[in-house]
Amino acid sequence: QLRPHPTEKTTHIVSHEHGMTVMMTLQEGEAEPQCQGFSYSRARLRGVLLEGASLLLLRVLARRQTMPPDLVFPAINTEGDLCTSSY
């Protein structure tokens, strides 16, 4: 029998004049929280699409019932790494 094992994962993103800092915290059960931080320059973040903006874009595209060809944006995945988001 497994006992409940609560897991809490938080991501905190701060935009500043030099770029963006992503701080991620993972706490599993009673263990000490594990923290990781990433910083990205403005140049690497040019055109980045965050999660809220991605949802809004999907709604607009659905409403227009059209899809531009090769629609790709830089994004930040659930691990805090830069990746691409294709539609």
In a domain, 1, yes or no: no
Tell me the residue range of the domain where 15 lies: 7-86
Task: Compute, in degrees rounded to 10, the torsion defined by CA atoms 41, 46, 51, 57.
Answer: 170
Averaged over 7-15, what is the pLDDT?
A: 90
In a domain, 2, yes or no: no
pLDDT in tens, 17-60: 999 998 999 998 888 999 999 899 999 888 888 888 888 988 99
- The number of folded domains in the chain is 1
Give pLDDT, residue 82: 86
Query: Any idea which residue has 């059209």 for tokens?
Result: 66
Q: Quick count: other Cβ atoms within 10 Å of Cβ 76?
A: 21
Give pLDDT, residue 86: 86
In a domain, 33, yes or no: yes
In a domain, 78, yes or no: yes
Tell me the pTM: 0.65
In a domain, 62, yes or no: yes
